Structures are given as C-alpha cells and as structure tokens.
Chain A
Amino acid sequence: MKEERIKRVLLIVGIVLTVSFCLLPFIYMVMVSFAKNADFLSLSSRYVFTVNNYKEVLFNANLHFLDYLKNSAIVSVVSAGVAVLLGSLAAFSITRLPLPFKGLVLFVTLSMSMFPQVSLVGFLFSFMTKLGWINTYLALIFPYIAWVLPLSLWILVSYFASIPRDIDKQAFIDGCSSWQILFKVIWPLARPGIFSTFLLAFIFSFNEFMFALLFTTDHRTRTVPVGIALFQGLHGEIPWGTIMAAATVSTLPIIVLVLVFQRNIIQGLTRGAVKG
C-alpha cells in the first residue's frame, strides 16, 4: 500500500517535471507576450500585464504580421495537400501494383530527403532566379512538396500496406476502377494516416525557415518564421514583446488543428511507428 503511494507520487513528480521542462519555453513566450517590459525577470522591474503587444501584432499594418500568416497558411496548405495527394497515389501503386524494385524506389526516395538543406539552397536560388519565381508562392511550394513527399510516402505506404488486399480485390469485383478503389475504399480506410501525414507536412512547411528566408523578399510572400525573425530590424531595440506575441499567435493554427484531429493523429502516429 505504502509502496503504491510512493510510486504514485514519484510518477506525478516525474510527469510534472517533464511537462514543465517541455513547456517552459512556451510559458515564457506567453508571459513575455503579455508583459509590458520584457525584462520582468530582473530584480529592478515588475511584471505588468498588457495586451498591447497583441494589438501591435494584429493591427499595426506596418508589421505585416497578418500578411505573413496568410502567406504561411497558403503555402503550407497547398504543399501539404499536394504532397498527400501525390504521396497517396505513389503509395497506392507501390503497395498495390506488381512493380519491380519497389523497395529500391522507397529507399531512394528516403535517401533524397537526407540531403542537408544547405547543400541544395544555392542551386535552388539560382534556379528560382532564372525562372523568375523569387518572391512568389511557387518558389516555396515546389521545394516544400519535394521536401515532405518522402516522409508522406513512407507514412502512407505503411498505412496502405496494412489494409488487406482482399478489400481491394473485393472492390475490383464490385465493379470499381483503380481510381474508385483509391478514393472510395483506400482513402476512407487510411483516413488517420492521411490526416497525420497532412499535419506533419503542414507543420513542416509552416516552420520552414531557410528556403523562406532566401526565396522571399517582402511581405507579399514572406512566411511567419522569417517575418518574426526580421521584426528585429524594424526598431533600434529588439521588440521581444511583439516577437513573442506573434510567435504565440502563429502557434495557434497548429494547436487548433492538432486538437481537432487529435484522435486521428495519435492513432496515426503510433500505427505508423509500429509498422515502420
């Protein structure tokens, strides 16, 4: 009985420590975003609550934060959507059709995604310049799709492979074409996998920094991470309050997405993990 209690207490202490360790930066971020002066931790100042930072971020048109948010949303949704669509077509062919060298295809795709970003960025910059795509959405969307496609493909392949072949034989007998099998049977069955793939792809595109920094030049296409980073240059000092408020606002879409699809994602991530 006593041992049980000690175990319980230790467990709770452990959980609290881990969670606070992980959440501390976020808590600090949120606190700073609501503080009048960012250096509230020093002895000489007091914490004064204010929402001015948020007002500044949301309503000061000179900061262009809402433009950044819009750009990020468009680029991420399109990249993730296209990646999932292409990924599921590829996964369908790899798991369903009698193709030679399937394993090799998967392996090569994976190894492509292991190139460090820096090694590509120079070439991509000159390429995008020649195409005249610098400072357009396309300059971000295409590299993002290429970047998240291997991950999408791998997750989706493991999902599609877990759907019994009898089901698509049955659908074929019931009169479906291959497209109908994919859209009417495989997609609904792999829904958790599709959701989690979409989310991972979305989060990746949403957070990406380097390509966004190099291929965009102003608020018409600049995405949130770059935008926030460049807040610094606007004034003489570093506007920590505004930066933190902007960061807090930009985490909201992802948090909302995750909460809405929570059940699907958890099921999705664990299943992908087990299936490798």
Chain B
Amino acid sequence: MRLSLYGVTKKFFSLRRIITAVDDVTFDVHNGEFFVLLGPSGCGKSTILNLIAGLEKPTKGEIYFDDELVASPEKKVFLSPRERNVAMVFQSYALYPHLSVFDNIAFPLRIAKEKEDTIVKAINDVAEMLGITELLKAKPGELSGGQRQRVAIARAIVRRPRIFLLDEPLSNLDAQLRHTMRTELKSLQKEIGITTLYVTHDQIEAMTLGDRIAVLKDGKVIQVGTPEELYDSPLNTFVATFIGTPQMNLFKAELMEEDGKFYIIFERSKILVPSRRITLGTFRSGQEIIVGIRPEDIELLSTSEGGHFQGKVASVEYLGRELLVHFTTKTSRFNALVSERMVKEGDEIVARINVNSLHLFEE
C-alpha cells in the first residue's frame, strides 16, 4: 500500500495554550517500503503515527491509503482504525495481560469474527515465523522483553494489515537484544513485503532499518531521504548533527571567492572547497557560513607535517578499533576518529581535513 500525507497539521487545545504537534507535514511512503520517522522526543513523530492509525483526528490536511482518503477534516472524512486495517506495535508492547499469548494474537482476528480454524492456522504460521510456537500457552507476564516484543509483532502481522506502524518498538530492550531484533525486523519486513512506518529517536536504528527516513523537528519535516542521502548531504545543521555518531563537527568560517574558486577561511588557514560542494547552496563571497566535517574525515598529523589547522589534544576515547580524539583549536573544539594509536592527551597536532567531505551551511 502507498501512504500519502498532504499538509497534515495537528493542534492540541488545552486551557492555557495551543500546541502544534504536527505542522504541515507532507510525505509519501511507497508500497512495501520501510519508512522511518526520526526525531528527538517531542517532535511530533508519535502523533503522526497516531494520525495515520486513526487514533487522532488531524486538524488540517489529508491522509491517503493508496487512492482512498482516510482522513480529511475539510471533506469530513475520518475512518476508524478498524476501517483502515492498520496494525501497530507500541513501545510498551500493550499485550493484554489477562490473555495467553495465543489469545493475544487471536484477539484482532476474533474481533473481526474470523472462523476459529482459520485463526488457529494463521497463528501457527505467524508463531513459526517469529519462533514463538512454544510460548503460545504462556501469559504475557511470564515472558521476557524480547519475547513480548515478538508476540506484539506477531499480533500485528497476523491480520495482514495494509500498513504496519511501529512506535519505538525496540527502546525497552537491552542493547544486544535490540541489535538482533533490528536485524530480524528488517528481514521480516522484506519477507512479508508490508509497507512499514517506524518511529524512533535513535538515528542508528533509523539508518540501519530505513529504506528512507524523514527527519522531524518541532512537528515539521526537515528532510526526507535515503540513509546515504541524509548522511552525505544533510540539508541543515540539525540533520547534520542529528545523524551520524560521533556527531559532525561544526565551526564558523568565512567564505571567499578567488579566481572562480571558493575557499573557506578558518583561523588563518585557507582551505580550497571543491566546487561540487558549493553548488548545493546559494553562497556569496565574504559570507559567514557554518562548515561541517565528520570526525572520520579529519586526519591528525604531527606538527612537522603540513595540515589545515593546529590544535591540542584534550582527551582520547578508546572505541576499540578506532580512537575518538577530542582536540581544541584557538576558537573551536573538534572530534576526530582516527585509527592510529599514537595520539596522547596534551599532544600538539595538525589536523588535515578531507575537503571532499566538507559540508557548508548558511547561518
């Protein structure tokens, strides 16, 4: 199923103020796509999910499932979750504690008045797919977090919904389990080929799972793109720093044009910017800009070698395969990800940056 949102806005009215949780959001999710809504907490991503599920009514805008209009306050259209046939997995899993795993998974089918033998068959199939066959008789209270997660997913996919909505489903799991579930979820989604919308605040989850990602802030969509697009060409400093760990370094610099070539001036160094990095924006010579460089695109050299600017190592973190080096220059702080282990705290160094990976942002 293809999902489309056009100018969807959701305002919450309370006695004291009006909160715009979702502000003029427009995007498309293609058929069978794994689409991720990524943003810090309070950016309205869960509200968008609730609007799509039919738990909330939009204040403005239209939501389409394929060509079917499911919500539009202007046209007075609003389909209930039942009519939309959506499935959702909550962060808390929301299993029914009084029902066995079997009855939990059977619940939506029984509400839909399916025949009992169809139900049994459907549940056996989905239980096998998720490896929870031995758990069918247990109550949710007896299960571990990962098992509950699987049951919640089983209950969601057993009814063959048109769209699969997941609201931070992995954030209650420990790191290791989260990693396995991530891989499983991705392959499961590919296997059944169901359009999936996934909400998370964890950019690593978004990058590993998403076919495409929408980055949200304050209820607005900032950028939509594949993980590569977001990583390689972030539209602004918010996306740039939100995506990628360790965070992208940002510093202020002046842009200068000379003989048709662009340079940035930073702490008396003049760094040539490849022209393909410039065309993205509408930059003028002499303009103050913000320059971004990812930690892995900085090379640290000893002072005898030539680099772009000088600095002093403030601290060093061992990440295993690499070192994360925090160093300071006259005006800024930087992080660099390096593989050589020679760097120590207090060392004077010279940093060389990969100019092909420079990101320029207007202030």
Contact = CB atoms under 8 A, between A and B. Distances in A.
A154 B86 CA distance: 35
B18 to A, nearest CB: 15
Q: Chain B: interface residue count, which band? A: 20 to 34
25 contacts: A164-B92, A166-B90, A166-B91, A166-B92, A166-B94, A167-B96, A169-B50, A169-B55, A169-B88, A170-B88, A170-B90, A170-B96, A171-B96, A171-B107, A172-B55, A172-B81, A173-B53, A173-B87, A174-B108, A174-B111, A177-B82, A185-B96, A188-B96, A189-B96, A189-B98
B279 to A, nearest CB: 46
Interface string B87-127: 11011101011100000000110011000000000000000
A175 B90 contact: no
B97 A189 contact: yes
Interface string B65-94: 000000000000000111000111011101
A176 interface: yes
A174 B55 CA distance: 12
4 A-B pairs with least C-beta separation: A170-B94, A174-B108, A166-B94, A175-B82
Contacts of A175: 81-82, 108, 111-112
A232 interface: no
Contacts of A164: 92, 94
A169 B97 contact: no
Interface of B: 50, 53-55, 80-82, 86-88, 90-92, 94, 96-98, 107-108, 111-112, 155
A217 interface: no
Contacts of B111: 174-176, 180, 184
Interface of A: 164, 166-167, 169-177, 180, 184-185, 188-189, 191
A77 B339 CA distance: 78
Contacts of B92: 164, 166
B88 A173 contact: yes
Given A169-B90, A173-B55, A173-B81, A188 B98 contact: yes
Contacts of A184: 111
Contacts of B107: 171, 174
Given A166-B94, A191-B98, 12 more contacts: A167-B94, A169-B94, A170-B88, A170-B90, A170-B96, A173-B81, A174-B111, A175-B112, A176-B111, A185-B96, A188-B96, A189-B98
